[in-house]
Amino acid sequence: MGNPVTQFQILSKTPEETARFYASVFGWTVDANNAMGYRRVSTGSDQGIQGGIWPAPPQASNFVQLFITVDDVKGCVKKAEEMGAKTTIPPTVLPEGDELAVLQTEKMVNALNVDELAASAKKYLTGENLIEFELLPEKK
């Protein structure tokens, strides 16, 4: 198995404004109909990945997370630490049985997961990165 990026998450100090921006510019559908206020994003395309928008923690700047599915969370964390990454959340089994770890490299925060991620873990994430996006032409 490869290690695909399976989800993105934008953490924003102004999540409602951020959701309006991406919905207006790119036509994304944003659904915040849940008790935690997580804004699930559908890009409207089968190509690429889907994501979400979450309020950034008070001590953090706006940033983007990439969720990467791996076969062995603990092994991947060990390898990442050997390469200089810092573990923000060590490998943890979530209530739904999925495993999650959050790593911070020099300029990025990445979450490693097996299967789907639980929203309950997202409130612990921090970082110091700016949101950046790149407009790419659609492949035909």
Task: Report pLDDT digits (tens) over 3-15.
Answer: 888 889 998 999 9
Q: Which residues pair with 31 in a beta bridge?
A: 40
Q: What is the pTM of this model?
A: 0.67
- Contact, 114 vs 99, CB < 8 A? yes
Query: What is the C-alpha separation between 133 and 61, in angstroms, rounded?
Result: 16
Task: Report pLDDT digits (tens) over 101-131.
Answer: 888 876 455 555 443 333 333 333 333 333 3
Let me know if domain 5-124 sits in CATH 3.10.180.10. yes
Break the chain into its structural domains and give their ranges: 5-124
Q: Which residues contact 128 (CB under 8 A, 6 or more apart)?
A: 60, 61, 63
